[in-house]
Amino acid sequence: MIDTLHWGIIGCGNIAASFAKGLRDVDGARLIAAASRSAQKAARFSQENGALRSYGSYEDLLDDREIDVVYIATPHHLHMENSLMAIEAGKHVLCEKPISINSKQATRMADAARQAGVFLMEGMWTRFIPAVEQLQDWLSDGIPGGIHLFTADFGVQFNVDDGHRIFNSELGGGALLDLGVYPVSLASLIFKRQPDTIQTQVRMHATGVDELNTMLFDYKSGPLAVITSGSISRTPTEAFIAGKKLSIKIHSPLYCPSALTLFKPDGTSDSYEFPLEGNGFNYEAAHVCRCLRKGMLQSDVMPVSESISIMETLDSIRAQWGLRYPMD
């Protein structure tokens, strides 16, 4: 039985800081070190976030024998490269979403982890938020009469120049991979599979990446899903599951909701609150720790096989737009 799992973080940006904060609320987890290509940035990050040491290279962190598991918090286009480095060093890996740029990369990562005998999971933190866990329980019990429609949106207004990662093709930019992955992953959670057919509309930014999109998923069993994401306008960022007899609203923000409303056949509704303990990132970190203590090499909540399937869906969407990245 592993008493304390020792973590390292590769990449020292905002998402890494949020994860480090969440990790402090996880029993039996300790942040040992953080690494950046800038030694000064790594040192500052480690001091601010309670890491014992810092490294000015990713390779030096991966050589640290005290570290058991690494959180990859670099930009999308580096997820495969950095994860493979960690896997080759014998480290378990939690890689921030999206797991990769495309399904081919995700498959390569999964194969490498399997061959090395290490754990790999996509950091889709939404799956482990208490409200979403309750949603999964309701779905497991079954929605009477079935689900007819799922709608979800995630729109943020980025007031940044074209060099920012959200608009930069060389960094895997675009609304779909940065924001749309959340509702697409929710659809995968709800329907337990990927859509049979996909129709899309898109508005492209001047830099050649998507800035606004709408997707219609058709499941041959009957349900439809309508998903939008965008980087130029703010939207409600909520989701709705419409069933024949029951419907469920996932309150904003859908990526980290703290409330659900259940709409009943008689026209009444019940709302449920699920306050967060910590900042939310603690839940996925705790899940990884539980998996590792059980000797699991894949999560049973966010398995790598599902992450690959989701990336295949995102690949299909981008193919309709003709959006290819330099690393595709």
Nearest alpha carbon to residue 6 among 73, 53, 57, 38: 53
How far separated are the first and last CA of the chain, in Å rounded?
Answer: 41
Give the residue, 65 or 142, on which the prediction is more confident: 65
d(CA 1, CA 140): 31
The DSSP annotation for 281-318 comes to: HHHHHHHHHHHHHTT-SS-SSS-HHHHHHHHHHHHHHH
Q: Which residue's structure tokens are 């992450």?
A: 307
3-class DSSP assignment, residue 3: coil
pLDDT (tens digit per residue) in 58-99: 999 999 999 999 999 999 999 999 999 999 999 999 999 999
3-class DSSP assignment, residue 229: strand
The ranges assigned to domains in the chain are 5-124+280-304, 130-275
Q: Is 97 noted as a catalytic residue in this protein?
A: yes
CA-only gyration radius of the chain, Å: 20
List the catalytic residue out of 21, 41, 91, 97.
97
pLDDT (tens digit per residue) in 36-55: 999 999 999 999 999 999 99
d(CA 34, CA 44): 10
pLDDT (tens digit per residue) in 168-201: 999 999 999 999 999 999 999 999 999 999 999 9
The kind and range of the H/E element at 12 are none
CATH homologous superfamily of domain 130-275? Dihydrodipicolinate Reductase; domain 2 (3.30.360.10)
d(CA 58, CA 160): 28
Q: φ and ψ at 37, to 5 degrees?
A: -70, -15
| Region 5-124+280-304: CATH code | 3.40.50.720
Q: Residue 14 — very low, low, confident or very high, per pLDDT cuts 50/70/90?
A: very high
Average pLDDT of span 229-252: 97
Q: Which residue's structure tokens are 């419907």?
A: 247
Cβ atoms of 192 and 156 closer than 8 Å: no
pLDDT at 177 (0 to 100): 98
The kind and range of the H/E element at 252 are none
Nearest alpha carbon to residue 184 among 193, 103, 258, 73: 193
3-class DSSP assignment, residue 127: helix
pLDDT at 1 (0 to 100): 59
Bridge partners for 157 per DSSP: 232
The amino acid at 246: L
| Counts of helices then strands in the chain (DSSP H, E) | 10, 14
Encoded tokens for 20: 């480090």
Q: Which residue's structure tokens are 């001091």?
A: 47
Q: Give the length of the chain.
A: 328
d(CA 191, CA 211): 27
